Amino acid sequence: MSHPKNSNTEAMSTQNDPSSKQPSPASREEPEPSCGNGSLPLWLIGMTGFALFSAGLYLGIFNGGFRGDIFNERDSSPALLFPEKSVPGALAGTGAATATSTESPVERGKKFYNNPPASCVTCHQPTGNGLAGSFPPLAGSEFVQGGSKRLGMILLKGLQGPIKVKGASFNGAMPAWEKVLSDKQIASILTYVRQEWGNKAGEITPDQIGAARKEFAGRTEPWAEADLLAVPADAELPGGTPAVAPVAQEPKK
């Protein structure tokens, strides 16, 4: 309560001030807390420090690139805590998709699709439908289900500018993956997206991605739609598996 100097109000305030008649609840219980050396317990300092440190660490790792358009805390940077060689060998460390030898290319591709460092899922979504106006669909996409050449080009070098997918227009940019993912990783991701969400297209092999890497080694820019359309829609990269019977079968007697 304030104590005005004005004499009229002083009389009133003295009357109404409960502290003048009886001790305030606070003064009955404990003394006012005061500043002083040693009054801040060590455990409190420690806990506050730990909380701030943890919050900073969390934000540093799970910042999602601070991008408002794609914020997703799963888009993390575990490499900060667990440095690893990412190109072009297999990935190790928490959070990053790792390949085991017993998995099929589709299973491997699914892991890479959904986890760093590829995290295609961030933009193209778990449904493969993308986001209208921002990220084109992979489900039912003519590029995904067409020839392997266009698809290999897109993945290795990225894509930017206006493009039509399934009749809908997009005008964004996808980064290049050639420095982030190995041939084997790209091949398994593509095999996965070609056979998920009702897509029905054949396997893509690491040899095919390797062939595309060589063929387009001199290309440093992302592709534009015109570059893709200049390549026949059904053009295949060399090194693919035969269209029929991709798995070696016992000859029948």
Give residues in contact with ligand HEC (CB under 6 A): 70, 118-120, 122-124, 135-138, 141, 143-144, 151, 154-155, 159-161, 163, 165, 170-174, 177, 189, 193
Q: Of 10 and 84, which CB lies nearer to ligand HEC in the complex structure?
A: 84
Q: Of 163 and 212, which CB lies nearer to ligand HEC in the complex structure?
A: 163
Using CA atoms, how far apart are residues 143 and 146, in angstroms rounded to an integer?
5
Cα–Cα distances (Å) from 162 to 89, 136, 149, in that order, read: 33, 11, 20
State the virtual CA torsion across 214, 188, 238, 229 in degrees, nearest 10. -80
Minimum Å gap between C-beta 197 and ligand HEC is: 12
Q: Of 144 and 211, which CB lies nearer to ligand HEC in the complex structure?
A: 144
For the beta carbon of residue 156, count every other beta carbon within 10 angstroms: 23
Which residues make beta-bridge pairs with 168?
165
Minimum Å gap between C-beta 61 and ligand HEC is: 18
Q: Of 111 and 124, which CB lies nearer to ligand HEC in the complex structure?
A: 124
Minimum Å gap between C-beta 135 and ligand HEC is: 5
Residues whose CB is less than 8 angstroms from the CB of residue 70 and which lie 6 or more positions away in sequence, other chains included = 64, 122, 123
Closest-CB residue for ligand HEC?
A: 120
Using CA atoms, how far apart are residues 224 and 172, in angstroms rounded to an integer?
11
Minimum Å gap between C-beta 154 and ligand HEC is: 5
Q: Of 14 and 134, which CB lies nearer to ligand HEC in the complex structure?
A: 134
3-class DSSP state for residue 209? helix
